[in-house]
């Protein structure tokens, strides 16, 4: 069975929105290697509408980060949206038809590598609480962002996690992988 993995950059105070505003000075080689290792296992991606619209605007013509563009552009991308309609313009992108949970459960049962969740706070939360997210990678940067969306909210259900792996990088980032605890 395929696994679903989400990776989010996080500040120490839990902000995961717009990491480009605060993570730039702590990105290091170990972090790049960890991301490269994760990407090497992924052969399909899930995005929410907002993430899709932002990334579809940038990545098809990105020259600044050719390695990631070379990974994400040809990757099959499945987009969860209640408002987008018709054909999606970014290559290899298609709208998810029907309930998200059913689609992801079916996708996990198909042959292939890992399924990555990209650029979507709400999609990551929804899949975690539906018990469809196998691994949550939080890359915690040594910074207090002060404001922005956080991954978790007051009122979220109690959800036990277990640490799958941890690594500290030379610039003080923590790469933490969690999965649902099975008791």
**Does position 65 have pLDDT exceeding 80, yes or no?**
no
**Does position 105 have pLDDT exceeding 90, yes or no?**
yes
pLDDT in tens, 111-163: 999 999 998 999 999 999 999 999 999 999 999 999 999 999 999 999 999 99
Please identify which residue in the block is written with the tokens 């998810």: 96
Looking at residue 22, its pLDDT comes to 93
Q: Which two tokens stand for residue 34?
A: 């960890």
Looking at residue 35, its pLDDT comes to 85
Is there a contact between 26 and 141 (Cβ–Cβ < 8 Å)?
A: yes
> 20, exposed or middle or buried, with CB in 10 Å at 0-12, 13-18, 19+?
exposed
CATH level 2 (architecture), domain 4-180: 3-Layer(aba) Sandwich (3.40)
Pairing of strands 161-168, 42-48: unpaired
């Amino acid at each position: 069975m395929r696994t679903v993995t989400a990776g989010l950059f996080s500040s120490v105070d839990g902000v995961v929105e717009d990491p480009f505003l605060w993570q730039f000075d702590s990105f290091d080689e170990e972090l790049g290697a960890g991301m490269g290792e994760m990407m090497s296992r992924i052969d399909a991606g899930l995005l929410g509408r907002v993430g899709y619209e932002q990334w579809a605007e940038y990545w098809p013509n990105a020259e600044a980060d050719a390695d990631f563009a070379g990974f994400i552009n040809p990757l099959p991308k499945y987009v969860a949206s209640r408002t987008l309609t018709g054909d999606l313009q970014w290559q290899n992108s298609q709208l998810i038809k029907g309930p998200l949970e059913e689609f992801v459960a079916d996708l996990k049962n198909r042959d292939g590598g890992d399924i990555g969740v990209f650029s979507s706070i709400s999609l990551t939360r929804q899949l975690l609480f539906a018990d469809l997210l196998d691994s949550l990678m939080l890359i915690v940067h040594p910074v207090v962002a002060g404001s922005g969306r956080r991954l978790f909210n007051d009122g979220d259900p109690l959800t036990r996690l277990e640490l799958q792996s941890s690594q500290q990088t030379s610039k003080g980032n923590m790469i933490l992988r969690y999965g649902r605890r099975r008791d």
